[in-house]
Structure 1
């Protein structure tokens, strides 16, 4: 493998799998929720997509529509419509 290909390899501690799951961003104290789509997922984090990330804090709970256990999350990066999340242990 050449060095340029090696530099583009996945560097996360846990590889993410593509998915398309419905979910909700739940703000602390259940003050508000935002619908989202989970675009990829791993044991340690996820990427979610929503109409706008404006007004979403950097710490919240992610609840899945399919009943999977909720995850407390920290935002690692964001764009106008997507956020990269790290799950708290």
Structure 2
């Protein structure tokens, strides 16, 4: 990372590698890989970040984790989400 990078997060994120799913309100969803997570958000790998709805639910079955969230940034196949 460049030296000019300014950390804007209020909570540190913890590295993880867990399978997850983004569930959509109207039904359906897509699989994702959770790369890091904090109390306020996460970084996810998804096959196609384009066309995601404004809000969705992140599910991590292994942890019985379920949180409403929305995308705050995307780059290539990665998205950053904030928990609602």
Q: Please indicate the TM-score interval, normalised by the length of the shorter structure.
A: 0.7 to 0.9
What's 1:18 paired with? Answer: 15
Greater Rg over alpha carbons, structure: 1
Q: How does 1:7-86 map to 2 (within 5 A)?
A: 8=5, 10-29=7-26, 31-86=27-82
Q: TM-score, normalised to structure 1's length?
A: 0.81
Structure holding more helix per residue: 1
> Structure 2: which 5+ residue stretches go unaligned?
none
Aligned residues: 83
**CA RMSD after TM alignment:** 1.8
Which structure is higher in strand share?
2
Instruction: Give distance in 1, aligned partners of 2:18 and 2:6.
Output: 25
Q: How far apart are residue 9 of structure 1 and its match?
A: 5.2
- TM-score when normalising by structure 2: 0.86
